[in-house]
Structure 1
Amino acid sequence: MLHCRYLVPGAIAAAFFLAHPAFAQEEEHSSLTMGVGVAAVPSYEGSDDYRVLPVPQFRGKIKDFAFWTRGTALYVDAIPNGDPQGIDVELGPVVAARFDRSSRKNIKDDAVRLLGKRDIAVEVGGFVGIGKTGVITSAYDNLSARIAVTKDVAGAHGSYVVTPAIEYMTPLSRTAFVGLGVSADYVGKKYGRYYYDVDAAGSAASGLPVYGRAGDGAGFKKVNFSLAGGKSLSGDLRHGWAIFAAGSYSRILGDYADSPIVSIAGSKDQWIGAIGVGYTF
């Protein structure tokens, strides 16, 4: 996987496989949607420089047990979602890789590059959530809320990440859908210290001022808002080819936004755009 792909947030990545809308669940108990696209993302979290990256994604279900990817994270729902009332209780494991600043050549800002690279984090944990089909616009729209909790087990930042999220999707017809999402990241103090603090040696190397407040305690690191849409090329979103587009805005918060890595070398305002194609079997 390419560096910084972790930046593609949940609703953006979901754009490549929300093509299997709620009305399809009434008819099929197994499916697979595979997608590939390109996304313009910040060169690191907090950067004001952007790169274009390929983004492969997939989602599916086997006998009503669902699985999906969000960027470099894999979710597996251990509870089958075949409830006739349209209620889906989610519970299962999640594993993710975080590549932020793990390669100097992918960091465009000279000062941040001189701070040195970070190790790849492997974050393992679980998630719980609930969704309901047939909520607002039709019998087929879907509103869901979930929270994921993971911890780095690879010895990179060595901390935890808590990600609450709310997503809403509605099919406009059998050939089109729109979806939106809101999410946030709450991180432990070791996370802030690893990615956002600047020590004396780093300051001497980069020219950025010494900064240590981001590692003083846990807190909300950012909030994200995203919008996605798709259109079938085969006349039915449940089968065949479809095209997708998505956009996202994130705001880095608090002491993380005040870090010179963000406030001087980058920006607290983070934008992502993506387009792609997918195929549903």
Structure 2
Amino acid sequence: MIGASGASRPDFEGTNHSKFAPVPVFAIRRPGTVDQFRSPRDNASIAIVDFGDFRAGPVGKFVTSRKASRYSELSGLADVSAAFELGGFVEYFPVDWFRVRNETRQGFGGHHGIVSDFSADFIVPVFGGLTVSAGPRFTVETAKAVSPYFSIDTVHAMATGLPVFDAKGGTHSAGVGAQLSYRINPKWEVHSYVEYDRLLGDAAKSPIVTVRGSANQTTFGVGASYSFDVKVQ
């Protein structure tokens, strides 16, 4: 399955400004398996293990770089390079109308920490191909994943006037998401969604957030996806 969404989302984590940006959609499943529910929260993944109600496999995410010169609220802080997060996902449908999913990823590049995303979605078919879904979100991150974005060392404290802050890992955010999707036919699907996260722990306590940003992070998006078969001889 390939596709794309157009999303209005925070310029960077912890800011109170948003920007419109494209978001790719990509997933692979084994032949003969049922096309499952997908949340806009899901990152690019391949289901190596697929028993219908239980799926697992590798997952990846790209985190864009954060250039301090582009944002006045980051003036005096260091740039953070782009990061790749690679890991695995598991998801389970205890019943047809409810899904739980976890993605745990290791960062490379801009950060070298571990990020673990938990989500749950209640899935309600309305009529025809129209489906409404919603549920809670929760993220835990290690210190090496949080620190590059939220810590302030002595040098940068002097440059910004912000206090020194050493961001640790732990509970990172909690929130909720909702999606409205419509399957036009077996190949095409369109969707719209909203995701809200509240930063927690040291991410929320960082002066970058308390003085210059916001702990409330909201994303709105619309998109479409196309499913097709790939045969290998």
Contact 2:48-2:56 within 8 A present in 1 as well: yes
How big is the alpha-carbon RMSD for the aligned residues of Structure 1 and Structure 2? Answer: 2.5
Alpha-carbon separation, structure 2, partners of 1:94 and 1:48: 29
Find out whether 1:227 has 2:178 as its counterpart: yes
Structural mapping, 1:126-145, within 5 Å: 126-134=88-96, 142-145=97-100
Find out whether 1:49 has 2:17 as its counterpart: yes
Once the 2 structures are TM-superposed, how far is the Cα of residue 186 of structure 1 from its aligned partner?
0.6
Aligned to 1:59: 27
Contact 1:65-1:78 within 8 A present in 2 as well: no
Q: CA 1:127 to 1:277, structure 2 compared with 1: closer, same or farther past 3 Å?
A: closer
Between Structure 1 and Structure 2, the one with more strand by share is 2
CA distances 1:203-232 after superposition (whole Å, capped 9, x unpaired): 2222322212x23xx311101211110235
Structural mapping, 1:82-97, within 5 Å: 82=52, 88-97=53-62
CA distances 1:101-126 after superposition (whole Å, capped 9, x unpaired): 2x346x43x13143121022222222
Alpha-carbon separation, structure 2, partners of 1:66 and 1:78: 14
Aligned to 2:225: 278
Matching residue's letter, 1:92: G
Matching residue's letter, 1:174: G
The count of residues paired between Structure 1 and Structure 2 equals: 226
Aligned to 1:146: 101
Q: CA 1:97 to 1:66, structure 2 compared with 1: closer, same or farther past 3 Å?
A: farther
Q: CA 1:165 to 1:47, structure 2 compared with 1: closer, same or farther past 3 Å?
A: same
Alpha-carbon separation, structure 1, partners of 2:4 and 2:55: 26
Once the 2 structures are TM-superposed, how far is the Cα of residue 60 of structure 1 from its aligned partner?
4.7
Once the 2 structures are TM-superposed, how far is the Cα of residue 38 of structure 1 from its aligned partner?
1.4
Q: Secondary structure at the match of 1:198?
A: coil
Alpha-carbon separation, structure 1, partners of 2:197 and 2:45: 22
**Unaligned stretches of 5+ residues in structure 1:** 1-31, 83-87, 135-141
Aligned to 2:231: none
**Unaligned stretches of 5+ residues in structure 2:** 229-233
Alpha-carbon separation, structure 1, partners of 2:200 and 2:65: 18
Q: Secondary structure at the match of 1:203?
A: helix
Structural mapping, 1:1-281, within 5 Å: 32=1, 34-63=2-31, 64=33, 73-82=43-52, 88-101=53-66, 103-104=67-68, 107-108=70-71, 110-134=72-96, 142-152=97-107, 154-212=108-166, 214-215=167-168, 218-232=169-183, 234=184, 236=185, 238-240=186-188, 242-281=189-228
Q: CA 1:36 to 1:193, structure 2 compared with 1: closer, same or farther past 3 Å?
A: closer
Q: CA 1:56 to 1:71, structure 2 compared with 1: closer, same or farther past 3 Å?
A: farther
Q: CA 1:179 to 1:100, structure 2 compared with 1: closer, same or farther past 3 Å?
A: farther
Q: Secondary structure at the match of 2:116?
A: strand
